[in-house]
C-alpha cells in the first residue's frame, strides 16, 4: 500500500488526475473503474482540463461506474448517469458505447446485475479502479455487513449513507433507499486501485480502513489485501494515521 498525503485539495486532485491520465497514456485501451460522489468532482475537473489541452484521448478507453441508485430516473440531476455526464463524459471523446453505468431502472434488477458483471468480464480486467470512502467504510455502495457480495447486486443503503447523501437532495426522504453496486470481489480484481479520501470527518474511517482489522464490518479494510493500492489523502483525512 502506498499512502500519499497532500496539504491542498488542488495538489491532491492533480495527483489523482495524473494517475488516471498516466494510465490512459500508457494503456490507450485502458479499462477504468469510475466513482461518483463529492470526492472525485475536482479530480474529473483536472482530467477534463488536461484532455482539453490535447494531452491524451479517451477514444479507446472503456469505463465502468461503481454504482447507480435504484428507480431514480436517468435524467434526474442526482442520478449517477447525470453526474458522470456533467463532470466527465460531456467534456471528453469517450464513445458512449464504451461507458457503462448500471441501470438502476431496469425492470429485472437481477438480470441487470448479471449483464453488468458480464460486460466487465468481457472487457478483460479493470486496469485502474477509482474509489471514494464512505463514513461507514463502504466502497462503491458495499455497506458494512456480515458477508460481502462478490458481484454486482442490489443493496439497501445504510442509514449513514442516506444521511451523507441527503446533501445532494431536497431532503433525506428524497434519497433513493436502494442502489445497484459493483461487488467487492470485482473491485478487488482491478489491477490497480486508487482510493481518494478528503476531510477531517473521514479521519477515523481512514484509520479503521487502512490500519484496523480486515473485516466485512468495514468493507474498505479489504483493500489492505490488494497488491497494488494507492491511497491519496488530504492532511485532514490522514489526521488519525501516525
The residue ranges that bind ligand PGA (CB under 6 A) are 37-39, 132-134
Is 136 considered catalytic here? yes
Site of grid cell 468493507: 219
Whichever of 38 and 73 has its CB closer to ligand PGA, that residue is 38
Q: Minimum Å distance from CB 111 to ligand PGA?
A: 26
In the complex, what is the shortest distance from the CB of residue 199 to ligand PGA, in angstroms, rounded to a whole number?
7
Task: Please give the backbone phi and psi of residue 17, each rounded to the nearest 5 degrees, phi first.
Answer: -60, -40
- Choose, from 112, 117, 127, 143, the residue flagged as catalytic: 143
- DSSP E strands in the chain: the ranges are 2-6, 31-34, 62-65, 67-69, 99-100, 128-131, 153-156, 178-181, 192-197, 229-234
CA distance 71 to 16: 31
Cβ of residue 182: shortest distance to ligand PGA, in angstroms? 12
Residues with Cβ within 8 Å of residue 151, at least 6 apart in sequence: 113, 117, 182, 183, 185, 186
Q: Would residue 143 show up in a list of annotated catalytic residues for this protein?
A: yes
Sheet hosting strand 2-6, strand order edge to edge: 2-6, 229-234, 192-197, 128-131, 31-34, 62-65, 99-100
Closest CB to ligand PGA among 94 and 133? 133
Catalytic residue status for 91: no
Beta strands of 24-72 (E only): which ranges?
Answer: 31-34, 62-65, 67-69
Query: Which listed residue (81, 138, 153, 226) is catalytic?
Result: 138
Beta carbon nearer to ligand PGA, 118 or 201: 201
- Per the residue annotation, which of 13, 136, 142, 165 is the catalytic one? 136
Q: Which is nearer to ligand PGA, 199 or 212 (CB)?
A: 199
User: Is-catalytic flag, 138?
Assistant: yes
**At closest approach, how far in Å is the CB of 196 from ligand PGA?**
8
Contact 222, 148 (CB under 8 A): yes
User: Residue with CB nearest ligand PGA?
Assistant: 37
Q: What are the residues facing 24 on neighbouring strands? A: none
3-class secondary-structure state, position 110: helix
d(CA 180, CA 141): 8
- When the beta carbons of 74 and 166 are compared against ligand PGA, the nearer one is 166
Shortest distance, CB of residue 122 to ligand PGA, whole angstroms? 26
Residues marked active site are found at 67, 136, 138, 143
Amino acid at each position: 500500500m502506498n499512502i500519499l498525503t497532500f496539504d491542498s485539495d488542488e495538489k491532491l486532485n492533480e495527483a489523482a488526475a495524473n494517475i488516471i491520465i498516466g494510465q490512459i497514456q500508457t494503456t490507450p485501451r485502458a479499462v477504468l473503474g469510475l466513482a461518483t460522489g463529492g470526492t472525485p468532482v475536482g479530480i474529473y475537473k483536472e482530467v477534463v482540463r488536461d484532455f482539453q489541452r490535447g494531452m491524451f484521448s479517451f477514444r479507446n478507453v472503456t469505463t465502468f461506474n461503481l454504482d447507480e441508485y435504484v428507480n431514480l430516473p436517468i435524467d434526474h440531476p442526482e442520478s449517477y448517469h447525470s453526474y458522470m455526464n456533467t463532470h466527465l463524459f460531456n467534456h471528453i471523446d469517450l464513445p458512449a458505447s464504451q461507458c457503462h453505468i448500471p441501470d438502476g431502472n431496469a425492470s429485472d434488477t437481477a438480470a441487470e446485475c448479471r449483464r453488468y458483471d458480464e460486460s466487465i468480464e468481457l472487457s478483460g480486467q479493470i486496469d485502474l479502479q477509482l474509489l471514494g470512502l464512505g463514513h461507514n467504510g463502504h466502497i462503491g455502495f458495499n455497506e458494512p455487513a456480515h458477508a460481502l457480495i462478490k458481484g454486482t447486486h442490489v443493496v439497501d443503503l445504510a442509514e449513514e449513507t442516506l444521511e451523507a447523501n441527503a446533501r445532494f437532495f431536497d431532503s433525506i426522504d428524497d434519497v433513493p433507499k436502494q442502489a445497484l453496486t459493483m461487488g467487492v470481489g470485482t473491485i478487488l480484481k482491478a489491477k490497480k486501485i486508487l482510493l481518494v479520501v478528503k476531510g477531517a470527518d473521514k479521519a477515523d474511517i481512514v484509520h479503521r480502513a487502512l490500519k484496523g482489522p480486515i473485516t466485512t464490518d468495514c468493507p474498505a479494510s479489504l483493500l489492505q489485501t490488494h497488491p497494488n493500492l494507492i491511497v491519496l489523502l488530504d492532511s485532514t483525512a490522514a489526521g488519525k494515521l501516525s
